[in-house]
Amino acid sequence: MQDNSQSPLNISDVSVLSESYELECKLAAGRDGKGELPKDFWPSYSALANTSGGIVLLGVKEKKGEFSLNSIEKPELVLKDLFDAANNPTKVSICLLTNDNVSVIEIDGHTIIKINIPRATRQQRPVYLKGNPLGNTYLRRHEADHSLPDEEVKLMLSEQQHDSLDDTMLPKFGFEDLSMETLRVYRQTHTNLKPDHIWSGFDDLEFLKAIGGWKVDRNSSEEGLTKAGLLMFGSYRSIKEVFPNFFLDYLERPTASADKRWIDRITFDGSWSGNLYDFYLKVYPKLVADIKIPFEIKDGLRQEDTPIHIALREALANTLVHADYRDRAKVYIVKRPDMFGFLNPGLMRIPAETAIQGYESDCRNRTLHEMFSYVNIGERSGTGVQRIYAGWKSKHLRKPILREDTEPNNRTVLELHTLDLFEPGILDILRLQYKDNFESLDQITQLALAITLSEGRLTHSRLCELSSAHAADVSKTLRQLVDQDYLTITGNGRGAVYRFKQVPSTSPEDVFGNDSSTVNDISSSTIKDNSSTISSPSSTINDSSSTISNTVRDEFGRIITDKFVLPFIDSVDELSGSFTTQLKGIAKLAHDKQRLNREDLACIILKVSKGHYITIKGLAEIVNRGERTLRQDYIPQLCKEGRLKLAFRDTPNHESQAYTTV
């Protein structure tokens, strides 16, 4: 165990931690107030280990972004309980902690225990409690620990047990399930690239066996297509039999926005096979259609590839070979004037930062990866993501964004923006807005404003990524920008999002008023400011977020606001008697029976939430269930399945969050 008590911290360092890492604070006072390991530590341990890792501070209480301290008087006893339980398989499935992960530190004179929980590897996940993964596996979502549905736990167990998910044999699938034209085109491409290869003389069956598309069970002598062979060359309907959620979609949008308009689209419409190889052949030329190829001769041949071509080829291939085709999200490729976007179902098997560094790979579909590489598509050395980043860097473009999302479904997202971070137009707008003040700002502050204007939002992690500044300096810069009225903030900790005031997001306060607020800015007085303060903007920006909408109630007692099309139910007490009776009539079965089939109660929740937004408090009273039950066991899953949606996406855990049926 480390003892860092000789390097004391202060409360502002805790604020920096909250913005830099997943941070969980637990008072851990115990019955006698001297400290003990809290019972709710272990769900947090499971959740952080199964997500991206994080830090737990024992002896710290956090409320609405403010931190208070309570010394752990006997830390050695707490640590003994911690390691005893961590090494007890009936308590937790695996111990990820070593002495290096745990330290006793001093914060403003208080003795605190800091526990750094690492991200579990694929082979270690799921990290679960009580000896049973079903019902006892947790995931971190929006600063809260959520119990995972059994379906997701089973996906984790499958990932743990199988290095590759696409080499399974399908004994009842054969050549009748293939698009033979796709196979012919693939074989012709392979022969053109490698005319003397031994595979060129094989018949189709032997060729499929050679590349992993066909498999023979040595024990039973059964044989058939592999999942990789079906995905790569199969017909759409046959693929859907094995992967019901399989969906490929390419959209080209005319503007730099996520509106519904598109000028070109590729998805299955019956006119083509619908398999992965044909999708790649259709999409890649469209991705690179507008990219200029400079004249360059190498070894006597004109070079048709640029670093951007290579990056886009790698991005498209990576999306297809790393996708979890069992999951609910679709493969989604977007081309816009300002960016390329790549989305695949399933989370990454290794941390994003490891993938970016390169030379370490854990491909979900290794046979597919090999099939693409046989026709010179995709890297097999673990440097694919690294080459994407290098291609973008070579053209001085904005650094790519690689992230994982867990809502509404598990998915990995790669954004390749095609504008320079400091485009002349961006800087001109900022100079026009702030005049001489902008030139007087330091580099990191100018960068923060440029990113916010370019991307529409800014987070602590994004500014750290693009500036390479220390996390504490980034925190100080962001707070100054908020204090000096350049930016507004919604959320706190790692969930904090910064925007310009002229493009605010809608918050619960806009609908329900300030009394519902759970977010307070951390006082800038807690930071020792050794630098000059940021000058105030020279011109006042209209702050439409500072004025709460004038709300009225309709004849049913629901809030009507100009911020939303649908009304809001904030409290059942405010509803008319007849409307309350109507809603409770919909939920009659839930009132009559405390034990209901999960799907039956889910359907009732959806019916009650239809046509308006409703808070969990209001929903709990209507369906006769506890708020905690709804918050942990029903609402997250319904949102993930796309059956419910949030009113306030930037503050998902706000106590006044409201939901409506999709």
- Asked whether residue 462 falls in the same domain as residue 485, the answer is yes
Look at residue 536 and tell me if it is in a domain.
no
| Whether pLDDT at 272 is above 60 | yes
Q: How confident is the model at residue 116 (pLDDT cuts 50, 70, 90)?
A: very high
For the segment 421-443, the average pLDDT, to the nearest whole number, is 76
- What's the one-letter identity of residue 637? Q
Q: What is the mean pLDDT of residues 502-519?
A: 49
- The share of the chain scoring above pLDDT 90, in percent, equals 47
User: What's the number of domains the chain is made of?
Assistant: 5
Q: Which residue has the higher pLDDT, 565 or 84?
A: 84
Is the confidence at residue 158, as pLDDT, over 70? Answer: yes
For residue 133, the model assigns a pLDDT of 96
Q: Are residues 237 and 270 in the same domain?
A: no
Q: Identify whether residues 458 and 356 lie together within a single domain.
A: no
- For 370, the 3-state DSSP assignment is helix
Q: Give the pLDDT confidence score for residue 259 in this predicted structure.
A: 66
Contacts of 78 (CB under 8 A, 6+ apart): 28, 35, 36, 37, 58, 72, 113
Q: At 620, is the pLDDT very low, low, confident or very high (cuts 50, 70, 90)?
A: very high
Place of tokens 């370019």: 454
Lowest mean pLDDT among 366-370, 375-379, 410-414: 375-379
Same domain flag for 12 and 124: yes
State the CATH number of the domain containing residue 346.
3.30.565.60
The pLDDT assigned to 546 comes to 34
In a domain, 287, yes or no: yes
Same-domain check for residues 190 and 319: no
3-state secondary structure of 595: coil
Q: What CATH number is attached to the domain comprising 35?
A: 3.30.950.30
Q: Is the same domain home to 188 and 94? A: no
Distance CA 201, CA 223 (A): 22
The answer to the question of residue 212 being in a domain is yes
Q: Is residue 543 part of a domain?
A: no
For residue 565, the tally of other CB atoms under 10 A from its CB is 6
42 and 90 Cβ atoms separated by less than 8 Å: no
CA distance linking residue 198 with residue 508, whole number of Å: 66
pLDDT score for 298: 57
Do 435 and 412 reside in the same domain of the chain? no
Q: Is residue 590 part of a domain?
A: yes
Domain end, chosen from 159, 178, 204, is at 159
Do the domain assignments include residue 42?
yes
Which among 417, 450, 466 is the end of a domain?
A: 417
More confident residue, 642 or 56: 56
Q: Are residues 74 and 181 in the same domain?
A: no
Q: Minimal CA–CA distance to 69: which of 11, 143, 6, 13?
A: 11
Residue 544 belongs to a domain? no
Phi, psi of 54, rounded to the nearest 5 degrees: 170, -175
Taking phi first (over 0 means left), then psi (-120 to 50 degrees means alpha), and beta for anything else, what does residue 404 get?
Answer: beta
Question: Between 2 and 8, where is the model more confident?
Answer: 8
- The answer to the question of residue 534 being in a domain is no
Question: Is there a single domain that holds both residue 182 and residue 261?
Answer: no
pLDDT at residue 97 is higher than 50: yes
How many other CB atoms are there within 10 angstroms of residue 36's CB atom? 17
Query: Whole domain around residue 505: which residue ranges?
Result: 426-526
Q: Residue 422 pLDDT more than 70?
A: no
- In this structure, are 43 and 95 located in the same domain? yes
Q: CATH number for the domain including 452?
A: 1.10.10.10
Given a cut of 50, whether residue 246 has pLDDT beyond it is yes
The closest of 497, 327, 288, 494 to 412, measured between CA atoms, is: 327
Q: How far is CA 318 from CA 308, 311, 384, 497, in A?
A: 15, 10, 7, 29
pLDDT of residue 244: 95
For range 138-151, the mean pLDDT: 86
- Whole-angstrom distance, CA of residue 81 vs CA of residue 58: 13
Could you give the percent of the chain with pLDDT greater than 70? Answer: 86
pLDDT band of residue 420 (cuts 50, 70, 90) is: low
Q: Please, which pLDDT band fits residue 4 given cuts at 50, 70 and 90?
A: very low
Burial of 439 (0-12, 13-18, 19+ CB in 10 A): exposed
- The verdict on 10 and 80 lying in the same domain is yes
- Assign residue 655 the CATH number of its domain: 1.10.10
* Domain co-membership, 491 together with 505: yes
- The beta strand positions in 84-192, using DSSP E, are 102-107, 110-117, 138-141, 144-147, 169-170
Q: Which of 159, 183, 202 is the last residue of a domain?
A: 159
Q: How do residues 185-196 score in pLDDT, each as one tens digit?
A: 999 999 999 999
pLDDT value at residue 502: 56
Give, to the nearest 10 degrees, the angle between helix 307-321 and helix 366-373. Answer: 150
pLDDT band for position 426 (cuts 50, 70, 90): confident
Instruction: Please give the mean pLDDT across all residues of the chain.
Output: 84
Model confidence pLDDT, tens digit, residues 278-313: 999 999 999 999 887 665 555 555 556 788 999 999
